[in-house]
Amino acid sequence: MEQPNRNLALDLVRVTEAAALASARWLGKGQRKAGDQAGVDAMRFVFNSLDIKGTVIIGEGEKDKAPMLFNGEQVGKGIGPEVDVAVDPVEGTNLLALGRPNAISVVGIAPKGSMYNPGPSYYMKKLVVPEEAKDVIDLDAPVEDTLKKVARALGKDVDDLVVFVLDKPRHVTLIENIRKAGARIQLHTDGDVAGSLMAVDPISEVDIMMGTGGTPEGVLSACAIKALGGQMLCKLDPQKEKEKQALIEQGYNLNRIFTVDDLITSDDVFFAATGISGGTFLAGVKYTGDGAITHSLVIRGKTGTVRRIQAYHKWDKLMKISGIKYD
């Protein structure tokens, strides 16, 4: 019998809580980069208190010149396990700036060398389903066929299904096909990671996530999807000629279909997410005057354990030891 070892996800939740507490101050203020910067600074500060040797493989922000923990950045104290790191201090920066739901802070880590590096890829086509449907899906199958198979695997009718889709011009035909098949749709302006998590979360009303979204968000999502036993099929889907040519020049196969096991090759994966603006997935930060309340999801891949944590933060005590000014 293997002895239990340290659950790094319980350290990671401190990182996402810090980013959420800092960035939530910018809720609805229309200052997208300021909110993102607050999350980045808080996340970096707390990350560097952890006993890990971390290398950022997925650092969101590069494609839109936003603040970021950059790809290749070293995080942690430099002692302890060597890990690959995927971060998004504020997933849904537009949601935060506009005061809309489902902005979250997310982190995933896996042993060094086990996390897929997407290089210059910004976008990928994705199909995400829970464990019950993981063996019946085909990324290239017609939408109607996919929905029928997923519905059957879940013991539902097609018109029972709820499909998460990003509300983007590129999805006009996809949305038409889903409606023609009879399934219901949740349209979201942003929130790629949250959508993937909803599709594999047993208490969410979302059954499946479809469409093209961010490649970095896909790898980050894969940490949680793998841990929860779900499946994501995806392939690189460049949206601009410059992105396509960069991928071809660097030898990426645009026809390859990836699974979660291709994106994260180890089962020893950890994931944490904390709600920022609240919504259908995770409740947001609630400031109480003398502190705040946060809501987080914490997952350990090796055991499949999922924890939902409601934390109460007290400014008078926290500010005595924290280098981040939350209040």
User: Which residue segments constitute the domains of the chain, with CATH numbers given?
Assistant: 8-111+268-319 (3.30.540.10), 123-263 (3.40.190.90)
List all residues 6 or more positions away from 225 whose beta carbon is below 8 Å from its beta carbon: 128, 196, 197, 200, 231, 232, 260
Separation between Cα atoms, residue 137 and residue 148, nearest integer Å:
10
Q: How far is CA 137 from the centre of its chain?
A: 21
| CA count, 13 A, side-chain hemisphere, 134 | 14
Q: Is 316 a known ligand-binding residue?
A: no
Determine the pLDDT at residue 320: 82
* 192 annotated to a ligand binding site: yes
Please report, for residues 198, 199, 206, 207, 308, the alpha-carbon distance to residue 203 in angstroms, rounded to integers and kept in the order given.
8, 10, 9, 10, 12
CA nearest neighbour of 194 among 275, 108, 301, 73 = 275
Q: Is 88 annotated as a binding residue?
A: yes
The answer on whether 169 is annotated among ligand-binding residues is: yes
Q: Which residues of 214-232 are buried (b: 16+ CB within 10 A; e: fewer)?
A: bbbbbbbbbbbbbbbebbb
Q: 92 among the known binding-site residues?
A: yes
Mean pLDDT per 10-residue segment, the chain (327 residues): 69 96 97 94 93 90 60 91 95 95 96 94 97 96 98 98 97 98 96 94 94 95 94 97 95 96 96 93 95 96 93 91 79
- Is 65 known as a binding-site position? no
Spatial contact of 133 and 153, defined as CB atoms under 8 Å apart: yes
Helices 32-47 and 9-23: angle between axes, nearest 10 degrees: 150
Annotated ligand binding at 144? The verdict is no
Annotated ligand binding at 201? The verdict is: no
pLDDT at 66: 52
123 annotated ligand-binding residue: yes
For the entire predicted model, the pTM comes to 0.93
State the Rg of the chain over Cα: 19
Residue 203 contacts residue 181 (beta carbons within 8 Å):
no
